[in-house]
C-alpha cells in the first residue's frame, strides 16, 4: 500500500496486489467489494477485466489495483510512484 497523500490530487492510497490467475483476480476483487459493501463502502468505479490481467477498484481516496504478475511488472506502479511511502508491504 502506497501513501499518496501530498503527492496526488486524486487518491490518498494505492493498494497494489498480484494474483496468479484470472479466477484469483476476480475472487479478490469480488470479495473486497463484498466485504467493504458490508461496511457501507461502495466502489465508485470498477475498471479492467479479470482475464486482462488487471482490475482497478476505485473507492475514492483508496484505489485498489489487482494485477497478474506480468501486468504488475509492465505497469510497475511502485516505481512510477517511487516517492510515495510504502505503508504496508506483504510478500
In the predicted structure, residue 61 carries a pLDDT above the cut 90: yes
For 52-91, strand residue ranges (E) read 54-58, 62-67
Domain boundaries, the chain: 2-80
Query: Which CATH architecture fits 2-80?
Result: 2-Layer Sandwich (3.30)
Cα dihedral value 36, 38, 41, 47, nearest 10: 50
pLDDT of residue 91: 78
pTM, entire model: 0.91
pLDDT tens digits, 17-39 = 999 999 999 999 999 999 999 99
pLDDT of residue 90: 87
In the predicted structure, residue 50 carries a pLDDT above the cut 90: no
Amino acid at each position: 500500500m502506497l501513501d499518496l497523500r501530498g503527492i496526488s490530487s486524486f487518491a490518498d492510497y494505492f493498494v497494489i496486489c498480484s494474483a496468479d490467475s484470472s479466477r484469483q483476480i476476480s475472487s479478490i476483487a469480488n470479495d473486497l467489494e463484498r466485504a467493504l459493501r458490508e461496511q457501507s463502502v461502495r466502489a465508485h468505479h470498477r475498471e479492467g477485466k479479470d482475464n486482462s490481467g488487471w482490475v482497478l477498484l476505485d473507492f475514492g481516496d483508496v484505489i485498489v489495483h489487482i494485477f497478474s504478475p506480468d501486468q504488475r511488472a509492465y505497469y510497475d506502479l511502485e516505481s512510477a510512484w517511487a516517492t510515495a511511502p510504502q505503508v504496508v508491504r506483504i510478500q
